[in-house]
Amino acid sequence: MAKKVFSRPESLKEAFFHYCPGCGHSISHRLICEVIDEMGIRGITIGVPPAGCAVLAYFYFDVDMIEAQHGRGPATATGIKRVLPDRVVFSYQGDGDLAAIGLAESFHAANRGENITVIFINNAVYGMTGGQMAPTTMLDQKTTTSPAGRNKTLDGYPVKVCETFSQLKGTTYIERVTVNSPANVNKTKKAIKKAFQCQMDGLGFSLVEILSPCPTNWKLSPVAACKWIDDVMSKEFPLGVFKDNIEAAKKPAEAAL
Which residues bind to another protein, rule: CB under 8 A? 42-46, 48, 51, 55-56, 58, 61-69, 72, 75-84, 87, 104-105, 107-108, 112
User: What is the rounded CA–CA span in Å between residue 130 and residue 116?
Assistant: 30
Residues 6+ apart with CB under 8 A from 219: none
User: What is the rounded CA–CA span in Å between residue 225 and residue 38?
Assistant: 30
User: Which of 250, 244, 235, 236 has the alpha carbon at shortest distance from 207?
Assistant: 244
CB nearer to another protein: pick between 41 and 249: 41
CB nearer to another protein: pick between 62 and 209: 62
CB of 181 to another protein, least distance (A): 31
User: What is the rounded CA–CA span in Å between residue 206 and residue 174?
Assistant: 6
Task: Kindly give the pairing relationship between strand 117-122 and strand 132-133.
Answer: unpaired
First to last CA, the chain: 48
CB of 127 to another protein, least distance (A): 16
CB of 59 to another protein, least distance (A): 8
CB nearer to another protein: pick between 75 and 226: 75
Task: Return the bridge partners of 178, or none.
Answer: 211
CB nearer to another protein: pick between 200 and 232: 200
User: What is the rounded CA–CA span in Å between residue 247 and residue 204?
Assistant: 12
CB of 180 to another protein, least distance (A): 29
CB of 221 to another protein, least distance (A): 29
CB nearer to another protein: pick between 10 and 231: 10
